[in-house]
Amino acid sequence: MGGESITLDVGGMTCDGCAGRVRSALESVSGVVSAEVSHETGSAVVSHSGASRNLMANAVLAIGYTVDGRTEEFHWRDGSVWRQSAHNTKWCLIGCSIGDFGTIAAFQFIPYLDALGWSAMSIMMLAMFNGIMTSIALETFILIKQMGGIREAFRVAIGMSLISMIAMESSMNATDLLIMGEPSLTWWVIPIMLFVGFITPWPYNYWRLKKYGISCH
């Protein structure tokens, strides 16, 4: 064990995954022996042998979290944050697509539903709502083990991803409506919808992760 230990106040951690990333960043600093990180207390207790506190803080700031109230100057050039935010966006897209495409397909291929005479806007709004619900359900399931229970996982899933989901759903359905003139799925429009749905919230997810360290996957 190292001969000294210090405690850093780390902001922006919301789950065990966040704590793990902070721990890895701290333990990559020369002179750091080990780090015990808790997202619940927002702290990192670092055992070290002469490592600089400033270097430790910079390592944590570089992955998007705050240290002792400090934040790294925001920029759009962090490749690791782009990759992590792309991963987050991917899971959001998978969840949204299940409910969204399932709803559109149901009205498109089930005669009974088609006979109800719903307007294109009504079907689109229902598809967006169902897409958001399935995305929240998927992210809640993913987070249950990290958060230690369904209630906390559900709270984090909504808090972390709702804006991203709304942007994603709006862009996918607007694209479908512009191309097809109605909520309709074909083999060639689906990839376009997925591409637009991924690209639209991705910069927001980068900004949120880089500036506030908010990420849950």
Q: What is the pLDDT of residues 21-43, one digit of tens each?
A: 899 999 999 899 999 999 889 99
Using DSSP's 3-state secondary structure scheme, residue 1 falls into coil
Lowest mean pLDDT among 42-56, 64-78, 164-178: 64-78
- Cα 180-186-191 angle, rounded to 5 deg: 95
Closest alpha carbon to 89 in 200, 190, 172, 214: 200
Highest mean pLDDT among 5-9, 16-20, 136-140, 191-195: 191-195
Instruction: Check whether 8 has a pLDDT greater than 80.
Output: yes
Grade residue 1 by pLDDT with cuts at 50, 70 and 90.
Answer: very low
Q: What dihedral angle (degrees, nearest 10) is formed by the CA atoms of 14, 17, 18, 21? A: 170
pLDDT of 117-161, one tens digit each?
899 999 999 999 999 999 999 989 988 877 778 888 888 788 777
Say if residue 12's pLDDT is above 90: no
Do 183 and 127 touch, CB atoms closer than 8 A?
yes
Which residues are CB-contacts of 200 (< 8 A; sequence separation ≥ 6)?
Answer: 167, 168, 170, 171
Domains, the chain, ordered by start: 4-67 (3.30.70.100), 79-212 (no CATH)
pTM of the model: 0.74
Residue 108 confidence (pLDDT) above 90? yes
- In the predicted model, what is the mean pLDDT of residues 65-69? 86
pLDDT of residue 213: 64
